[in-house]
A and B are shown apart, each in its own frame.
Chain A
Amino acid sequence: MADTVTVRPPTVGSAADGKRRAQRRKRRLAVVFVLPALLLLGALVVYPVLFSFGRSLFDASGDRFVGAANYAAIVQDPATLKAIRNSAIWVVVAPTLLTGLGLLLAVLTEKVRWATAFKLVLFLPMAVSFLAAGIIFRLAYEQDPDRGVLNAAAVAVHDGFDDAAAYPTARAREGHGLTGGAGGPYTTTSTVRPGGSIGLGFIGVAPDALPAGAKAAAGPADAAGASPAAGTAGAADSIGGVVYLDFAPGGTGTPGRVDPGEKGLPGMTVEAVRDGRVAATATTADDGSFRFAGLADGDYTVRLPAANFEAPYQGVNWLGPALVTPAIIGAYLWVWTGFSMVLIGAGLAAIPRDALEAARMDGATEGQIFRKITVPLLAPVLTVVFVTLVINVMKVFDLVWIIAPGPVQEEANVLATRMWLVSFGGGNDQGLGSALSMVLLLLVVPAMIFNVRRFRRSGA
């Protein structure tokens, strides 16, 4: 190394020769300095890329050359196509939202006094590993409102506007005088005239789900309403009846009849309908009895509106097949917003103040300043943030892996998780996996080239 470090001045007389020698020495020097980096890059980047490419031309066992068959399989396999589609959604949506959010927050925090505290809090999630963030959001997105905080909030808000129905599980005993699908409304199959009475049997309510005040059903009313029951028969201008739980403990009762031990269903809304119009409305008492008084003579059907049976609001199915990708992108936003905000904030601080002040002097509104001056001046920073995020999003793996539950794994897969699944997660087809990784590489390359070009330009 000694002779390469001490560069002696060339001897007079052979100037051209010396120049060439110096140049050669310089080149050798360059090679020596670059060699370690080249070796590392070669071993860690170039060799694996080439190996993966070679491997992608072989089948699962690695013994048989299959040419482009693996690449053809990518295009044909619906699961992989879904992963490609998801990756595309990720690449378009996540960096755009993040850059936009970051810009918004950076501009806004510039104007508040406690900006540092605010930025600190927003930046905190960056310190949380993807694994931990994934577990947090898996819990937050849980369907059961008792466990998932998001659905707990959704249900609380919903129930604030709309009371939960009293009998969501109840349904009419089929073939005993009531028709209607699950969830109501239920209507009597036969009509009843004033002076008559009617028994409406329901099942599917657990004994401990009955309201506390429920009493034994009022009198043995025949479901067909043919014989007026002792407790419900009354004036000639009224229809009486009972809505009851047609299931005695131990299953001992007769369907369609009020048996001893069967309870009334209090608080049920009942309507008397004539010619499609509601003629009277009643609510059942503690023993399930109801009465419509003052009815004109005629044929009535009795209806129980669907509001009695509305299933309780279950919240949003965040981790269902439709919403799982947006939900995971949401978790990703939570982690990365701080990053883009801080970077854009730094760019913002570097904008020449006089340009902004000049604009203000000229009477530009804050909105105009933002659109016409801040954003164009920030463009280079925004591009850096955007491209960095695109590259980052391409390789997202852990969040998807942890948040997506088994049944929707396939709907949530991105290229990276699909590649892993195919090569190691049971499939053990490293040929196809390598092909997928080559596709991933090809997709990242444009972003890389763009970034390198930009660096070179700003360096020059």
Chain B
Amino acid sequence: MRRPSKTSRRSAATATAALALALAATACGGATGPAGSGELAGQTVTVAGVWTGAEQQSFKKVLDAFTQKTGAKTVFVPSGDNVSTFVGSKIEGGNAPDVVMVPQVGVLQQFAKEGWLQPLSEQTAQTAGSTLAPVWKNYGTVDGTYYGLYFKAAHKSTVWYAPEAFAQAGVGEPKSYSDMLKTGRTLADSGRPAFAIAGEDGWTLTDWFENIYLSQAGPEKYDQLAQHKLKWTDESVVRALTTLGELFKDKQLVAGGAQAALGTDFPTSVAQVFGPEPKAGMVYEGDFVGGVAKGQFGKKLGQDAKFFPFPSVDGGRPPVVSGGDAAVVLKDGKNGKAGLKLVEFLASAEAAEVWAGAGGFLSPNNEVDFASYSDDTTRSTADSLIAAGNSIRFDMSDQAPAAFGGTKGAGEWKLLQDFLRDPSDPQGTAAKLEAEAAKAYGN
């Protein structure tokens, strides 16, 4: 759940224009690849997804590979940001796509509950069983039926840093959370505050909390808290907040202090580390930080911009908070059979390697050859994602009702922002979080 930033608001207009163009293009038959003579020759599979721009181009390459293999034509339909509304209206209009790439686990569950989804084929389930860590299969399963194949993954446990700041301070990549704070203090001693924190965007703060909680309290409690079976007043939450508060309350660690952090949005926080006038040494967020550092500030990944995995907290396993896009097959699609075949293909390492080569992609599939990733940084992110195996968890705030985990100025976002402003009372913050969660979950 990312709020569009000020800079991206401007580009939203152009994006919309581009989307309109893309829609127009696909409307007049944007079928990719020549119709071959495979087993599915003559059939057309329609795929809907949120991807635009480079991501869409790369995904089309994957679809082309499918065409070459089976002879089925493929059409990609951009769905816009709100997949749920898009698919709902398409089904109502009798024009449902065959396959949808769903970006949130909540939406996938909603689709399944509406009865829109077809169970995936036996073969997909088998491939997924052997190539994906069980957790990925579980997130694609609703009430015991396997509906969604996770094809593209995100890694939200990467701490990005400026190597020259680390060299100046004479520190290396920390291995534990307390090490990281120590590294941060040394960085501050050298004259460069440790962390750029994007406090104006509540979602970055929820990600901080989730990483600490996942490592400190373990995946089981994490799952319970995500479903609100565990109360936020639980001792483990208070402990994680205290741990987070240790960082928040240290003026040396938060660039500019809490006040400035609350006025910093995500793109600015990346600029504070990798921009022309660096004000901090590290910024924590997902693998997409690398994209911003590279795209906006011309940093060479792995050289001017590096990352280390979010370190373990209090001896727990290093956390890997993740997310991803799952492929589902709609019942109302015209070529459901071909759709199922496409998902079978997406389950293969072969399909993932096509996009891996194009860049900007992580696969949860453990058979994907690391050599196929286009650069070292992505390769090591992928390595860390696969190595985490079954301890991966999805972003908790994405799993929560939007009122709690995804609303600007309300719920968890707001309360963690208040906590950043004044981290002195973890207990009180936990109580407030519980009150908001109880309201939003309704249980």
Contacts and interface: CB of A to CB of B under 8 A. Distances in A.
Interface string B190-231: 111000000111100000000000000000000000000000
Contact of B170 (A251, A404, A406, A413): A251
A426 B3 CA distance: 13
A394 B122 CA distance: 60
Contact of A405 (B200, B402, B411): B200
B362 to A, nearest CB: 28
Interface string A199-237: 000011111010000000000000000000000000000
Given A406-B3, A426-B406, A204 B200 contact: no
Contacts of A406: 3, 200-202, 408-409, 413-414, 417
A209 B409 CA distance: 36
Interface in B382-428: 401-403, 406-411, 413-414, 417-418, 421
A60 B227 CA distance: 20
A169 interface: yes
A298 interface: no
B169 A251 contact: yes
B145 interface: no
Contacts of B167: 250
B200 A206 contact: no
B259 A247 contact: no
Given A252-B170, A405-B200, A410 B409 contact: yes
Nearest to A412: B409
- Interface-centre pick from A169, A404, A405, A407 (highest chain B CB count, 10 A): A407
A182 B411 contact: no
A185 to B, nearest CB: 18
Interface string A233-262: 000000000000001011110000000000
B262 interface: yes
Contact of A409 (B170, B171, B408): B408
Nearest to B440: A427
A317 B190 contact: no
Interface in B239-269: 251-252, 259-260, 262-263
A426 B403 contact: yes
A117 to B, nearest CB: 34
A251 B171 CA distance: 8
Nearest to A144: B263
Contacts of A169: 191
A204 B188 contact: yes
Contact of B191 (A79, A204, A413): A204
Nearest to B1: A426
A319 interface: yes
Nearest to B171: A251
Interface in B31-53: none
A425 interface: yes
Given A410-B409, A410-B414, A182 B191 contact: no
B168 interface: yes
A428 interface: yes
A100 interface: no
Nearest to B167: A250
Contacts of A143: 259-260, 263
Give 5 closest A-B pairs by Cβ, nearest first.
A409-B409, A251-B170, A206-B191, A426-B407, A250-B170
Given A407-B199, A409-B408, A428-B403, 14 more contacts: A143-B259, A143-B260, A182-B251, A203-B191, A204-B252, A206-B192, A209-B191, A247-B191, A249-B168, A251-B169, A408-B409, A409-B409, A410-B410, A425-B408
Interface of B: 3, 167-171, 186, 188-192, 199-202, 251-252, 259-260, 262-263, 401-403, 406-411, 413-414, 417-418, 421, 440, 442
